[in-house]
Amino acid sequence: MRQFYTRYPYSLFLKAILQFFVTLFLANLGNGSASFSGVFLFVLALAPTSFLLIDLLVLPGLGVRAANLADWVWGFFITILYRSLGYLQIDFFQLLVVVTGVAVVEHFFHQMLKKAAHSD
């Protein structure tokens, strides 16, 4: 599993791009307001920490379900932090939608990582 990250360094970049577009879309639905720079700073904090803590540690050891749950919880805390700092001006329900949307994208990202690890 760890060989995937050394052989395919684009995985962190792909993760950040996916998180950016999902967050930008979902955070601007309804009454929410999230600027390009606010979402960029949010993803700049979420993607590398999630990659290092969850994709490198939790996913290989505990599997996809545990990694999905850990990603949702970690995303929730980071989103709460960036909401309180004013980078994401969204209400609580929309916060849950953003975190769940990012977690759904993460699920498919984890499936891709597992498939790539088994094919190596």
Q: Looking at the 3D structure of the chain, how many domains does it have? A: 1
The parent domain of residue 114 ranges over 2-119
What is the reported pTM? 0.85
pLDDT value for 7: 53
pLDDT at 26 over 80: yes
pLDDT value for 40: 94
What is the rounded average pLDDT of the residues 47-68? Answer: 88
Distance CA 93, CA 6 (A): 38
Percent of the residues in the chain that have a pLDDT greater than 70, as a whole number = 89
Neighbouring C-beta atoms of residue 40, cutoff 10 Å: 15
What is the rounded average pLDDT of the residues 80-101? Answer: 91
pLDDT at 52 over 90: no
Provide CB contacts within 8 A for 22, sequence distance 6+: 98, 101, 102, 105
**8 A C-beta contact, residue 117 and residue 4:** yes
Residue with the two structure tokens 């700049």: 44
